Amino acid sequence: AAWSGSAGNLIATRALMGVGGAFIMPATLSILVNVFPREERPKAIAIWAATVGLGVPLGPVIGGWLLEHYWWGSIFLINVPIIAVAILGAILVVPESKDPEASRLDPVGALLSIGGLASMLYAIIEAPNVGWLAGQTLGWGVAAVVLLGAFALWELRRAQPMLDLRLFRNPRFSAASIAITLVFFAMFGMLFFLTQYLQFVLGFSTLETGVRVTPVVVGIGSGVGIGTRLAAKIGTKIVVGAGLGIVALGLLNLSTVSDLSGYQTVLISILILGFGMGSAMSPATDSIMGAVPEENAGVGSAVNDTTRQVGGALGVAILGSLLASSYSSAIGPVVRALPPDAAKAASDSVGVALGVAAQIGGAQGQALAAAARSAFVDAMGTTALVASGFAVAGALVALLFLPAHERPREHVEPTRAEPARPAGSTTGE
């Protein structure tokens, strides 16, 4: 990726990196389940969830610093020594574990799921540009429905599916999966529009923006610790539901910012959001892992990782598309007086609009810049409100369907009654 000569090469190498990450993440969580006894597992999962959550906001800081001081490819090369240390640590420390009855690979299921998710995300991302009812948008939407429907039918008919959809019959498993999905939906969506607000409205540099996002680390870390302890005392249902409710509160507070608010309002929102995310993440993850037999821990881990990735992708796609549509509508009346090319460019994003304003200069340029910032703030408020609605929905799902307290693993095995061997091992197991 560091030496990619074109956008196509960069996308391809990034996809390859994603494949590698998809092998790693489920394995790490399943290792914890197999290594730690039940009474110590919530603490181990809490530490795991904290490190996963902390890595997301730290990326912009390190990446921003590298971009300001070094060649852009350094953001990829910095990972090489880290990976080398991780490989050595895995060889020396991680115990060997194999499933003697591991299922075969499921390339058809993998291709159907990839095609369905890619079609859905592409339709959502492109809709603001071509129109929500345009033939292209509807075509990709139909393709997503067909491919994901075919994936579900294929998996249900296989004796050893890549993803055992019967697991979702268990409310403990499905409700916790929804909670994790919406936590990462909110996290990635929030980072997407918040970083633009800090850069283009408040005027911070890339590095300064990354630094100002990092307080979410404090919120996540404290939320994970407190949420794990509270879940043991008052139950998963209340903690996960309250955590998502706190996420909604943080997003509501974020919807009130203006171009004159300053960083203080943003900081409060970031801390609230981080605490809510952290307090919901760890108990929900433990609930997912506790809903599958220990010998199928890799299945629960894979689903847990999938919900994170899908939630993050949907957060960026849905909230990003809503942000773009709202911004374009708000800035539209202002740019009508500009030349067609400049008007179209300024309608695409606030960053481009500020560039157009700088080229125009003078009073007209200043007016365009002020209008672009105001339009973006209005769009961000709308987007944050919608995101808070998703968080409230997740809180209701958790309160309605998660058990008050975790039950022993052997009482919640959803696939034991199936005539075939309990399926659901992923291709990476």
What's the chain's average pLDDT? 84
- What is the C-alpha to C-alpha distance for residues 189 and 324, in angstroms, rounded to an integer? 13
- Which pLDDT score, from 0 to 100, does residue 179 have? 92
pLDDT band at 272 (very low <50, low <70, confident <90, very high): very high
Checking if the pLDDT of 250 tops 60, the result is: yes
In terms of Cα–Cα distance, which of 94, 117, 177, 109 is closest to 423? 109
Interval 98-148: pLDDT, tens: 655 556 778 898 899 989 989 998 999 888 778 888 899 999 999 999 999
- Which pLDDT score, from 0 to 100, does residue 295 have? 67
Of 19-28, 97-106, 120-129, 384-393, which has the strongest mean pLDDT?
384-393
Contact indicator for 167, 412 with CB cutoff of 8 Å: no
pLDDT band at 411 (very low <50, low <70, confident <90, very high): very low
Question: In this predicted model, which residue has the larger pLDDT, 237 or 259?
Answer: 237
Identity of residue 123: A
- Which pLDDT score, from 0 to 100, does residue 419 have? 41
- What is the C-alpha to C-alpha distance for residues 141 and 125, in angstroms, rounded to an integer? 11
pLDDT over 70, % of the chain = 91
In terms of Cα–Cα distance, which of 170, 116, 107, 112 is closest to 296? 170
Checking if the pLDDT of 303 tops 70, the result is: yes
- What is the C-alpha to C-alpha distance for residues 394 and 412, in angstroms, rounded to an integer? 22
Contact indicator for 299, 101 with CB cutoff of 8 Å: no
Strand extents, DSSP E, 314-427: none
Neighbours of 14 (CB within 10 A): 12
Checking if the pLDDT of 241 tops 60, the result is: yes
- Which pLDDT score, from 0 to 100, does residue 182 have? 92
pLDDT band at 429 (very low <50, low <70, confident <90, very high): very low
Read off the tokens for 333: 């009346």
- Which pLDDT score, from 0 to 100, does residue 221 have? 87
- Which pLDDT score, from 0 to 100, does residue 423 have? 39
Checking if the pLDDT of 240 tops 80, the result is: yes
Average pLDDT of the segment spanning 404-427: 46
Average pLDDT of the segment spanning 310-328: 91
pLDDT band at 307 (very low <50, low <70, confident <90, very high): confident
- Which pLDDT score, from 0 to 100, does residue 406 have? 58
pLDDT band at 46 (very low <50, low <70, confident <90, very high): confident
Contact indicator for 381, 323 with CB cutoff of 8 Å: no
- Which pLDDT score, from 0 to 100, does residue 196 have? 92
Contact indicator for 188, 56 with CB cutoff of 8 Å: yes
Read off the tokens for 190: 């929030």
- Which pLDDT score, from 0 to 100, does residue 426 have? 42
pLDDT band at 410 (very low <50, low <70, confident <90, very high): very low
Interval 158-182: pLDDT, tens: 887 877 888 888 888 999 999 999 9
Count, residues in the chain: 429
C-alpha distances (whole Å) from 206 to each of 15, 44, 60, 351, 356 are 25, 34, 8, 13, 20
Phi, psi angles (nearest 5°) of residue 129: -85, -40
pTM of the model: 0.81
Checking if the pLDDT of 401 tops 60, the result is: yes
DSSP notation for 234-271: H-HHHHHHHHHHHHHHHHHHHTT--TTS-HHHHHHHHH
End-to-end CA distance of the chain: 27
pLDDT band at 340 (very low <50, low <70, confident <90, very high): confident
- Which pLDDT score, from 0 to 100, does residue 198 have? 93
Q: Which range among 178-187, 309-318, 364-373, 406-415 shows the weakest confidence by mean pLDDT?
A: 406-415
Average pLDDT of the segment spanning 189-202: 90
Checking if the pLDDT of 208 tops 50, the result is: yes
Neighbours of 87 (CB within 10 A): 10
- Residue 167 DSSP one-character state: G
Checking if the pLDDT of 335 tops 50, the result is: yes
